[in-house]
Chains A and B, each alone.
Chain A
Amino acid sequence: MRSIDAPEVPAWLLNNLGCGPNNDALQGDLAESLQRGKSASWYWKQAITSIVVSVFVESRRHPLTVFRALAAGWLIYWPLGWVVFNVVYVLALVSLGLDEPDLLIGSWAPPFSWHTAHFGTTYTCAMNAIASGLLFGIGIVSGWIMAVLFRPHSRVVAVVFSCTVLLSWVVYSAGLGSEAIGARLPWSLYFWMNSVVQSVCILIGGSLAEAKRSTTI
């Protein structure tokens, strides 16, 4: 019988985000079912459902751990973000001869078009790329630290924390007002791209810590 490989993306997600103690056996069962004729879409559905169910179950089994981890996560994420954007980013801007506060990533209200009109497209894109890179770096570092500190529950902690960070971006955008998010699509896309990718970076950070631990063992 010709071996059928599991779709890579759901397999990777399940391998890195699946939280339950039987995650290994579950992956084996899904692979076995694929060989017996189940479709790739069935595999996708099973993988996503399993991840969601395992996160819920593990959170309910260890509520205090998850709560402590969330508190620790925000104590890492927020000050790290503050230091990076009020110290590192400002020093970078000043060293490049630019000290306009409105270009700082914290000020979402002026849209992309305002920035390009004031600083030019190339400069704005470069600054936004640097800011995005810093955001993603913060996500990876936060996720990595949390995964290291809260073993053996690193996966559920990383997933739950990532969800709270994404939720905080949603709440933040609601506070900005509809005009800011409105019809200025390039700026809106940039905002949401940063939010989603940063949340994913937290998961990546957690996975890197797990992978390092596995190779060490």
Chain B
Amino acid sequence: MATPNAISNFELMVMLALMRLGDEAYGVPVSEQIAEQSGYDVALGSVYAALERLEDRGLVVSSIGDPTPERGGRAKKYFKVTGKGVEVVRDTRQTLTRMWKGLKTPAGERV
């Protein structure tokens, strides 16, 4: 059964990046992953804004790492997708797949 929680395209990309990175997912690698896969840069601020929204809805959880001198003495904040988050990702994929199926361009070609 599909969950009622819909997520935006960007939020989906962030969650997929988190799932791909596993335990080492924090701001920098997530934005790099999205840039690598999509071909365009994303602002770190936007990534964190999306992560805050997802955390508010219980789709991701965060934990604090150790501060490092490289980061000016600031700690990393790691994010992980929750079980509920995985369900939402799965449902979104199924919905999109259903909507993609049989789709053709006006010229009659398959999309």
Contacts and interface: CB of A to CB of B under 8 A. Distances in A.
Determine whether A and B are in direct contact in the complex, meaning some CB atoms lie less than 8 angstroms apart. yes
B48 A33 contact: no
Contact of A54 (B26, B27, B45): B45
Interface string B76-110: 11000000000000000000000000000000000
Interface string A14-39: 00000011101111111111010000
B4 interface: no
- Considering residues A3, A26, A28, A30, which has the most beta carbons from chain B within 10 angstroms of its beta carbon? A28
A134 to B, nearest CB: 36
- Considering residues B51, B52, B53, which has the most beta carbons from chain A within 10 angstroms of its beta carbon? B52
B26 A50 contact: no
A86 interface: no
Given A25-B77, A28-B75, A46 B70 contact: no
Contact of B74 (A3, A25, A33, A54): A25
Nearest to A30: B44
The majority secondary structure among interface residues of chain A is: helix
Contact of B76 (A6, A25, A33, A52): A25
The majority secondary structure among interface residues of chain B is: helix
Interface of A: 3, 6, 20-22, 24-33, 35, 45-46, 49-54, 57, 61
B70 A25 contact: no
B26 A29 contact: yes
Nearest to A25: B77
Interface of B: 26-28, 43-46, 48-49, 51-53, 56, 67-72, 74-77
Contact of B28 (A3, A22, A32, A50): A32
Contacts of A49: 43, 45-46
A35 B98 CA distance: 44
Nearest to B45: A50
B60 to A, nearest CB: 12
The 10 closest A-B pairs by CB, nearest first: A50-B45, A28-B74, A28-B71, A25-B77, A29-B27, A53-B45, A49-B43, A31-B72, A22-B48, A57-B49
A24 B51 contact: no
A31 B46 contact: no
Contact of A29 (B28, B46, B53, B69): B28
A31 B28 CA distance: 10
Contact of A3 (B26, B48, B69): B69
Contacts of A54: 45, 48-49
A45 B76 CA distance: 21
A149 B27 CA distance: 32
B71 A29 contact: yes
Nearest to A22: B48
Contacts of B27: 22, 25-26, 29
Contact of B43 (A21, A28, A31, A46): A46
